[in-house]
Amino acid sequence: MIIAIDGPSGAGKSTVAKLLSKELGFEYIDTGAMYRALAYKAYKNNIDINKEEEISKMLETTEVDYYDNKIFLDGENVEELIRSEIISKASSKISAIRIVREKMVELQRKIAANKNVVMDGRDIGTKVFPNADYKFFITASLEERAKRRYEQLKSKGEAKYENILQDLKKRDENDSTRKFSPLIKAEDAILIDTTDMSIEDVVKSLVNIIGGNNVL
């Protein structure tokens, strides 16, 4: 069974998806982490994201995997290294490249084969698994998403609300207007606006929808 969760950056998708997967006893797959891992490798090796041949060469010699709620790049757990703002921006750019998407979509389908999974991303319900058993589109207002991100980063002392808001706006724009698999709600996805909801309430409502269909 496949549960697809899509939506813009900072809407709480991964937190919700992780909790939901625990609740259902399903595997969780964070597809954003895969694009982040590639962005991290390109950044670390000074690979020019704008040069398709360089990216193509990198893809040929790169192994990405996701299991136990962790992302592996060439065999190394890079979960802690891929969450910075620099990598956020770079991953938005690298994920717009066609050959990158083709390789990642193929990998995502392979990883989920014959398993029960909750998979989160931007194109899971539209492109990766258009026949997913459940599709949710989780969103929140731009201001609320920026506020949540600000609260997360405040303790690290590197946060400015206005910068976060502008960065999110730019990533929304990149992710929604790119040519290949832009972020868009699948027609048959259930829209959940979490602006005024707690994470617990969001998870509860998803469990109710799935359980209400006697799946659990």
Q: Which two tokens stand for residue 179?
A: 């040519």
Strand, helix or coil at 158?
A: coil
Ramachandran region, residue 158 (left: φ > 0; alpha: ψ -120 to 50; beta: rest) = alpha
Q: Which residues of 174-201 are buried (b: 16+ CB within 10 A; e: fewer)?
A: bbeebeebebbbbeebeebebeebeeee
Nearer to ligand DC, 121 or 210 (CB): 121
**Among 2, 19, 31, 137, interactor with ligand DC by CB under 6 A:** 31
Neighbours of 67 (CB within 10 A): 11
Give the interface segment with ligand DC, choosing from 32-40, 52-60, 147-155, 190-198 (CB under 6 A).
Answer: 32-40
Count the residues of the shown chain that bind ligand DC, applying the rule CB under 6 A.
13
Task: State in angstroms the smallest separation of the CB of 29 from ligand DC.
Answer: 10
Instruction: Please report which helix (H) or strand (E) contains residue 58, including its range.
Output: helix 52-60
Residues 204 and 211: their CA atoms lie apart, in Å, by 10
Would you count residue 103 as binding ligand DC (CB under 6 A)? Answer: no
- Whether 139 and 11 have beta carbons less than 8 Å apart is answered as yes
**Among 26, 28, 35, 66, interactor with ligand DC by CB under 6 A:** 35
Nearer to ligand DC, 166 or 208 (CB): 166
Would you count residue 194 as binding ligand DC (CB under 6 A)? Answer: no
Nearest to 185 by CA among 123, 100, 131: 123
**Among 37, 64, 92, 137, interactor with ligand DC by CB under 6 A:** 92
Task: State in angstroms the smallest separation of the CB of 30 from ligand DC.
Answer: 7
**Among 21, 95, 126, 139, interactor with ligand DC by CB under 6 A:** 95
**Among 32, 49, 132, 136, interactor with ligand DC by CB under 6 A:** 32
Give the interface segment with ligand DC, choosing from 19-27, 44-52, 117-125, 148-156 (CB under 6 A).
Answer: 117-125
Nearer to ligand DC, 70 or 208 (CB): 70
